[in-house]
C-alpha cells in the first residue's frame, strides 16, 4: 500500500500496536508521532521497519497548534499518496470527582484530546485535498463518552464525547469528497492509561463486569481501526464502532 499512514500517539498502547500491525498489513510509509516518550516511539518505529515499512518519527505537542503545523510540514515532504489518519493522541488525568476538575486540569485535557485532535484532522484534510489521492480518518474515542466515568474521569469522558460529535459532523462534511471519517470507542483495554490515571488495578476490578468477562487488547482495537481505514470498509463512514466486549 503506497499511501502514508499517520498515527498520533504512537509511542505506546493502541497507537503503537496500530502502527505495527499496519506495517504487517501492507502500509509502506508510517508516520510515528509522539509527544514526550521518544524511547517508546523509537521502539515502535523499529518494529515498523522490521516488517519492511518505512517509519518517520515526528515529535509534536498536540496541545500546541504551531507544533502540529510543523509536524505536517514534515509530512508534506513525503511523496504523495493516499492518506490514512489514526487520530489517537490523548491523555487522561488522575481519577477524581467534580471537586478535582479545576479549570487548568479541564483545559489541558481538552487542549490535547479535543483541540489537538481537531487540528490534526484539519491539517490531514488539507493534505488529502492538496494531494488529491483520497484518504480516510479514524478518530479514537472511548466508551467513557457513553458511560460518563462518574467519580473517575468526567473531564476525559466529556472530551471523548466531543470527539464522537466531531466525527459525525466531519463525516457528513467530507463524504461528498469521498473522504471517510469514522471512530472507535475502546472499552477496558490492556494499556498503561489506567496506571496513568492513578488506577493500576482498574482492569482487574472491572474487566469481569463486561458481558465478555475480560479486558480487550490493543491488537483488537488496531484490527478495527485498520479495517475502517481500508477499502474493505469503502461504504462505511459516520460510524462509531464500540470495541468494548459488549460493555
| Per-position pLDDT tens, the chain of length 247 | 679 999 999 999 999 999 999 999 999 999 999 999 999 999 999 999 999 999 999 999 999 999 999 999 999 999 889 999 999 999 999 989 999 999 999 999 999 999 999 999 999 999 999 999 999 999 999 999 999 999 999 999 999 999 999 999 999 999 999 999 999 999 999 876 544 545 577 677 777 888 999 999 999 999 999 999 999 999 999 999 999 999 8
Which of the residues are catalytic?
A: 156
Give me the pLDDT at residue 240, please: 98
Give me the pLDDT at residue 162, please: 98
Cell of 169: 459532523
Give me the pLDDT at residue 196, please: 53
Give me the pLDDT at residue 119, please: 98
Give me the pLDDT at residue 62, please: 98
Which residues touch 31 (CB under 8 Å, ≥6 apart)? Answer: 4, 5, 6, 7, 55, 56, 58, 75
Q: Are strands 4-7 and 54-59 parallel, antiparallel or unpaired?
A: unpaired
Between helix 218-229 and helix 13-25 the angle, nearest 10°, is: 50
pTM for the whole structure = 0.94
Buried b (16+ CB within 10 A) or exposed e, 6-29: bbbbbbbbbbbbbbbbbbebebeb
Give me the pLDDT at residue 157, please: 97
**SS3 category, 125:** helix
Q: How far is CA 129 from CA 80, 123, 126, in A?
A: 11, 10, 5
Distance CA 76, CA 62 (A): 17
Amino acid at each position: 500500500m503506497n499511501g502514508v499512514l499517520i498515527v498520533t500517539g504512537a509511542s505506546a498502547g493502541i497507537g503503537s500496536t496500530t502502527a505495527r500491525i499496519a506495517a504487517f498489513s501492507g502500509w509502506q510509509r508510517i508516520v510515528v508521532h509522539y509527544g514526550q516518550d521518544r524511547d517508546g516511539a523509537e521502539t515502535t518505529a523499529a518494529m515498523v521497519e522490521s516488517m519492511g515499512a518505512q517509519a518517520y518519527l515526528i515529535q509534536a505537542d498536540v496541545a500546541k497548534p504551531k507544533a502540529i503545523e510543523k509536524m505536517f510540514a514534515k509530512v508534506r515532504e513525503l511523496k504523495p499518496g493516499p492518506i490514512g489518519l489514526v487520530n489517537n493522541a490523548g491523555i487522561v488525568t488522575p481519577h477524581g470527582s467534580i471537586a478535582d476538575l479545576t479549570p487548568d486540569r479541564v483545559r489541558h485535557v481538552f487542549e490535547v484530546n479535543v483541540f489537538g485532535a481537531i487540528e490534526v484532522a484539519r491539517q490531514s484534510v488539507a493534505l488529502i485535498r492538496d494531494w488529491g489521492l483520497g484518504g480516510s480518518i479514524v478518530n479514537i474515542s472511548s466508551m467513557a463518552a457513553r458511560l460518563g466515568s462518574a467519580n473517575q474521569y468526567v473531564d476525559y469522558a466529556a472530551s471523548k464525547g466531543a470527539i464522537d460529535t466531531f466525527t459525525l459532523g466531519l463525516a457528513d462534511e467530507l463524504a461528498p469528497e469521498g473522504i471517510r471519517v469514522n471512530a472507535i470507542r475502546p472499552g477496558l483495554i490492556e494499556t498503561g492509561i489506567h496506571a496513568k490515571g492513578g488506577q493500576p488495578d482498574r482492569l482487574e476490578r472491572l474487566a469481569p463486569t463486561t458481558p465478555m468477562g475480560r479486558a480487550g487488547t490493543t491488537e483488537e482495537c488496531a484490527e478495527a481501526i485498520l479495517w475502517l481505514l481500508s477499502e474493505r470498509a469503502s461504504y462505511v463512514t459516520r460510524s462509531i464502532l464500540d470495541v468494548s466486549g459488549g460493555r
